[in-house]
Amino acid sequence: MKNSLFIGLCTTYSDFYKYQHTLIESFSYLDRSFDGNCFFYMVIQGDDIEKLEPKLTRLNVHVRHESYLGVSNARNLCIKKALEIGAEYILFHDASICWTEDAANFIFRYKDVMPKVNVSFSDGIKKYDCLDLIGSKRKVNPIYDTYVWSYLFKLDDISGLKFNLDFGPGQNTNFKSGEDVLFLFDVFSIRQSYNVFESEKKIMIYHPPRDSDFSKHLLYAKGQGKMFRILLARFLSFSIVKDIILFFGNAIFRCLLLKKNSLKILLQRVSGFFS
């Protein structure tokens, strides 16, 4: 089927320039794995730089420029476009990640059983010879299996869903995190199953390492607190209550260890939960 896989890239101008070489590599592996039946849709956000028209020859790339900065808004535009062209599968692609050849081949082989690939936060991309593309069935918890770009979705499973525009990195969002988790809970709730087919450890998507000063933890803390409040209201279970206790317990423990930004993180988590 032509354009069976829709790859939606949500990026800013600056991030595209920063990661364009690994993006091209990632795109090429995905396109090759799906026999060229890919539709690449790049939602490039920001109006501070002249219009960017990427030169990605041999790939079916389409670009949309958005002055509004918001990852949830950009991903919703991707879902809308994927439905318009009649794609069968959708993959959300961030600017900073890179799919390896093994990871791309893995999701193609297991595309009908909701494949998920492991994530490595690493400076370098390691090459393995994974001839068997081994994986296993696993029940995931979106609170810990967070990254929406590590899953392959069938369009039929998400056609009625949208990312919450109040969550995620963006210029006007109140909460700078939590969009992936809320979306995944909606997906698995509709599927009535939290089971995925996950790759073995060597088959991975690569992402640059996180900052060591916990600055991301601080940025995301308020959104995570609000996210847990929503999950408690919509998906009340013993597991959710346990995860909330661990969420705040972890922040308190970091304070006791005098970790950098620990008190600020705790206060932001509390603020988000009760906002």
- Domain extent listing, the chain: 5-207, 215-274
Phi, psi angles (nearest 5°) of residue 199: -70, 160
Do residues 104 and 29 make contact, with C-beta atoms less than 8 angstroms apart? yes
Q: What is the pLDDT of residue 127?
A: 67
pLDDT (tens digit per residue) in 193-215 = 999 999 998 899 999 987 776 78
Nearest to 142 by CA among 209, 234, 206, 30: 234
At residue 264 the predicted structure's pLDDT band, cuts being 50, 70 and 90, is: very high
At residue 143 the predicted structure's pLDDT band, cuts being 50, 70 and 90, is: very high
Q: What is the DSSP letter of 169?
A: S
C-alpha span between 226 and 224 (Å, rounded): 5
Do residues 205 and 152 make contact, with C-beta atoms less than 8 angstroms apart? no
pLDDT of 47 > 90? The answer is no
Category of 214 on φ-ψ map: left (φ > 0), alpha (ψ -120 to 50) or beta: left
What's the predicted TM-score (pTM) here?
A: 0.94
As a CATH number, domain 5-207 is 3.90.550.10
C-alpha span between 213 and 50 (Å, rounded): 34
> What's the first-to-final CA gap in the chain, in angstroms?
47
